[in-house]
Amino acid sequence: MSSSAARSWIEPSDLSAGDLKPLVVQLEAERQRLQEENAQLRLELKERYGFSNLVGSSGPMRQVHEHVSQVARANTTVLLRGESGTGKELLAHAIHYNSLRARRPFVKVSCAALPHDLIESELFGYERGAFTGATSNKKGRFEIANGGTLFLDEIGELTPLTQVKLLRVLQEREFERLGGTESIKVDIRLVAATNKDLEKAIAAGTFREDLYHRLNVFTIFVPPLRERKSDILLLADHFLEKFSREHGKQVRRISTPAIDMLASYHWPGNVRELANVVERAVVVCDANVVHSHHLPPTLQTAEASGTMQTRTLQETLEAVERDALQDALKSARGNRAKAARLLGATERVFNYRVRKYGIDWRRFRA
């Protein structure tokens, strides 16, 4: 600092490169500290909210969530098994975002969607000239996922040849690009999913047993929706809110008969099917309550539900009437005079009907 003696402040021109150096070092240290703090806060947020989009509090689902949170922070290979639409991909995300790799890439490979002759170049990449059309080098998904998580979806669909190559990468954690000679090492966490019966596939000779053992390190079975009935309503409400928002509608509630239908259906397409049914209901719903007639025909028939019995015309009419009475009571928050007005009935007729169906109007009071 040369000519600053007469002043009590410092001008930038007073500072020599030598003076600036400690300041730059200090600023850099501060920047790094903030960056680390930021990363830490993000991680804490992920931990807190990472599971919030996983709806379900049934016993089987609580166990799944527990397994996911146990394994997420380790680098262990996870195999997610369960029927189509049970939420395997959602869980794969939860594992990644609750792991130490949360800020690194999550890369998905749909083994079934890729043509057999493309899957290897997709996974391992290629060098220029490896085949006609390979005009430049291309990284494969293994390389892109470096430091993060590679999600191999529908692993049961891999061809025998790709199974061999995959097994090698899993054993050695290194591979070559197609047409390349250099070995590439990667640091990835593997999560795989399948709805196939792998043991059957092994017995049939279509899935390699050694690959199965490599993948079968920490297996999580995601139960079908019909085995966690108590989640149906929670999920239906979750989707109702989500799709109402997305479609700009005010659908707020599901009527009791519609809930009964959702609860007694066997859901072969699991959560995905439920999401589709609720979205359809939101779209066709003209008021703010989903009624049974807003649900698709598959849920209306006795055969489909498996438990519903065929109703006579009289029973059907009574069900509709009971539904209407309850809805009116809900809207009027248990005020019977108001509920009667909503239905265009006199209080006397309304009260008679309520008694006839044994509806406890008090439980609708706010």
Given the structure tokens 């539904």, which residue do they identify?
A: 323
Report, in Å, the least distance between residue 41 CB and ligand ATP. 26
Mapped onto helix, strand or coil, the DSSP state of residue 349 is: helix
83 versus 143: smaller Cβ distance to ligand ATP: 83
Tell me how crowded residue 71 is: count the other CB atoms within 10 A of its CB.
Answer: 19
The two tokens of residue 51 are 């599971």
CA 154 to chain centre: 16
Would you say the C-alpha torsion 259, 263, 266, 267 has a positive or negative sign? positive
51 touching ligand ATP, by CB under 6 A = no
Mapped onto helix, strand or coil, the DSSP state of residue 293 is: helix
241 touching Mg ion, by CB under 5 A = no
Report, in Å, the least distance between residue 54 CB and ligand ATP. 5
Of 215, 240, 271, 343, the residue at the interface with ligand ATP (CB under 6 A) is: 271
76 versus 84: smaller Cβ distance to ligand ATP: 84
Using Cβ positions, the residue closest to Mg ion within the complex turns out to be 89
Report, in Å, the least distance between residue 237 CB and ligand ATP. 11
d(CA 239, CA 291): 15
Binding mask 8-47 for ligand ATP (x = CB under 6 A): ----------------------------------------
134 versus 263: smaller Cβ distance to ligand ATP: 263
Out of Mg ion, ligand ATP, none, what residue 98 binds, judged by CB under 5 to 8 A for its kind, is none
Mapped onto helix, strand or coil, the DSSP state of residue 72 is: helix
Query: Nearest to residue 77, comparing CAs of 205, 167, 195, 197?
Result: 167
2 versus 52: smaller Cβ distance to ligand ATP: 52
Region 65-104 residues binding ligand ATP, contact defined as CB under 6 A = 82, 84-90
Bridging pattern class, strands 125-126 and 174-176: unpaired
d(CA 338, CA 345): 10
**Residue ranges in contact with ligand ATP by CB under 6 A:** 54-56, 82, 84-90, 195, 238, 271-272, 275
